[in-house]
Amino acid sequence: MAKPKKQSQPVERREISGIERLGLRVSSMINHPVAQTQRWVTIHRLDTDGDREWEEVMGLLSETDGIDMTFNDDESVTLRWEASTEEDRSVAVAEEAEEPAPF
């Protein structure tokens, strides 16, 4: 017997706002493994980033403890931060895991 076909609900797609899109992009850049290793990243303003969105995200970043912001001449922003104690512990654990097995 053939199974009755399920009627699928149409997937509702929600457009993300400009500030959400910029926030996701900045977050992705900050969390990138290379940025985490070097502890700095330069964020370039795109043509699609509105003034209000850019100012709001930069304002949120400036209020974040442990982040130093440098506004560059080309409208980009360089963020720098120090390693947190959690990062220091994870590096120590990774080094311990590299020891040869006792057998």
Residue 22: predicted pLDDT: 94
φ/ψ of 36, rounded to 5, equals -65, -35
Query: Mean pLDDT of all residues in the chain?
Result: 82
Kindly state the average pLDDT of the residues 15-26. Answer: 91
Residue 86: predicted pLDDT: 60
**Closest Cα to residue 61, out of 86, 80, 37, 87?**
80
> Is the distance from CB of 78 to CB of 72 less than 8 angstroms?
yes
Q: Tell me which of 61 and 16 has the higher pLDDT.
A: 61
This prediction has a pTM of: 0.65
Distance CA 47, CA 52 (A): 13
Domain ranges of the chain: 18-92
* Percent of all residues in the chain with a pLDDT value above 90, rounded to a whole number: 59
Q: Which CATH class is domain 18-92?
A: alpha beta
Distance CA 10, CA 15 (A): 16
